[in-house]
Amino acid sequence: MLLQSRQTEIQDIANKIACGKNYIFPAADLGKYLCEYFKKQGINIEAFIDNKKTGFMEEKEILSLNDIQDKNANIIVSSINYMADLSKQAEELGFKNVFDFGKLTLIYPELQAYNQAFTGLKDEYINNKEKYEQLRNILADEKSKQVLDKIIEYRKTFDINLYSKIKDDINEQYFADFMPKNSEIFIDGGAFDGDTILRALNYISPKKFYFFEPDTISLSKAKENLKDIKNIEFFPYGLSDKHKILKFNTKGNLGSCFSETGDTEIECVALDEIVKENKAFIKLDVEGAEIDAINGAKKLLKAGSPFAICVYHKPSDIWKIPELILNILFDKTLADYKENDGIKFYLRHYTNTVFDTILYGVPIQ
């Protein structure tokens, strides 16, 4: 019944977009991408909307929401980071047809290619229900289970408002209160411009930071941002299971990622080959390369390293990553886990969108 109801909703939205007046909100990268996509589909876009009335001009006018009098017009929210906020803004102004990017990927599956977090997202839970049940059983506290429940509910309904019910303070990301504070070594995999290390100083006081960031633009920013911190070793590498060269999209922002069509090639290394110490606090946010990076850190993990790993870049990461770690540590699957196995798993989420779900692992001493 739920599947049939969703299919009816999808078809209804598709009809409204095909026949109605469509406005893209806001006028940024994804907005331009959607405008070009709809043009190829023969679907007209009336104008762009932007709160600052800035963005991609081209042949389209840029308006504000207040400029549009027709409350039955279709407002297509062209942002992933701010899907919930911008949808709410339009709905509070009385617009009846507000469609966020997540729902668009259900109607137009080709759009899933824009961001890997949406690739196959619709079917991921349906095809792996047993894995999600097993994952829920290994989580150490009720809050983790609630986080997983809402993520599952989103994958069933694509109701973006669900994430606001589980969102934690993003300033605490990677440093939840149950994480050890006495780690002498901190590994920042996917360190961007140094923002995590600056935050880390509020929670931990390691003797050394290992900084890994392959995007040269972000690395340059980081060296400036962290110039007053002396105990950092910078590595211009991506992380993987072994030394290799991979293609990479260098954007100098959070959109940088590994890609077979990337604009540059980067050197990747395994953590076990670089880190001299036996144990470290491991943070991984490596744009979908987390599984390879984990396979390159088996020695560190087996030594009892705590970790905070992103599990949202690919839909299946949320269960494949903890299962991989269990396999590395104990030669077990999710179904085999026991509470006394020597590690506790926690799940937390930090935004109003699909991004920033973190799996924590705390070794039991």
Could you tell me if 67 and 164 lie in one domain?
no
CATH number reported for the structural domain that contains residue 272 in this entry: 3.40.50.150
Mean pLDDT of 83-109: 97
Could you tell me if 107 and 152 lie in one domain?
no
pTM of the model: 0.94
Mean pLDDT of 149-161: 97
Domain-embedded: residue 33: yes
pLDDT at 288 exceeding the cut of 90: yes
pLDDT band at 10 (very low <50, low <70, confident <90, very high): confident
The number of beta carbons lying within 10 Å of the beta carbon of residue 197 is: 21
pLDDT at 54 exceeding the cut of 80: no
Domain-embedded: residue 277: yes
Domain that holds residue 11: 2-114
Could you tell me if 75 and 169 lie in one domain?
no
Q: Which two tokens stand for residue 99?
A: 């469609």
The pairing of beta strand 208-212 with beta strand 232-235: parallel
Taking each helix axis from N to C end, the angle separating 142-157 and 2-19, rounded to the nearest 10 degrees, works out to: 50
Among 82, 114, 146, the domain-final residue is: 114
- Kindly tell me the burial class for residue 37, based on how many C-beta atoms sit within 10 Å of its own C-beta (0-12, 13-18, 19 or more): middle
pLDDT at 224 exceeding the cut of 90: yes
Domain-embedded: residue 270: yes
- Listed in sequence order, the residues at least 6 apart from 15 whose beta carbon sits closer than 8 Å to its beta carbon are none
pLDDT at 4 exceeding the cut of 80: no
Mean pLDDT of 78-95: 97
pLDDT band at 259 (very low <50, low <70, confident <90, very high): confident
Among 59, 82, 114, the domain-final residue is: 114
Number of domains in the chain: 2
Question: Order of strands across the sheet with 257-258?
Answer: 238-239, 264-269, 244-249, 257-258
Q: Could you give the percent of the chain with pLDDT greater than 90? A: 87
Average pLDDT, the chain: 93
pLDDT at 2 exceeding the cut of 60: no
Domain-embedded: residue 43: yes
pLDDT of residue 1: 46
Q: Could you give the percent of the chain with pLDDT greater than 70? A: 94
Mean pLDDT of 23-35: 95
CA 228 to chain centre: 30
For the segment 115-126, what is each residue's pLDDT rounded down to a tens digit?
Answer: 999 999 999 999
- Listed in sequence order, the residues at least 6 apart from 91 whose beta carbon sits closer than 8 Å to its beta carbon are 98
CB 211 within 8 A of CB 233: yes
Domain-embedded: residue 121: no
pLDDT band at 3 (very low <50, low <70, confident <90, very high): low
pLDDT of residue 261: 73
For the segment 206-219, what is each residue's pLDDT rounded down to a tens digit?
Answer: 999 999 999 889 99
Could you tell me if 344 and 225 lie in one domain?
yes
Task: Give yes or no for a cis peptide into 306 (omega within 30° of 0).
Answer: no
Could you tell me if 100 and 134 lie in one domain?
no
Could you tell me if 135 and 106 lie in one domain?
no
Among 54, 85, 114, the domain-final residue is: 114
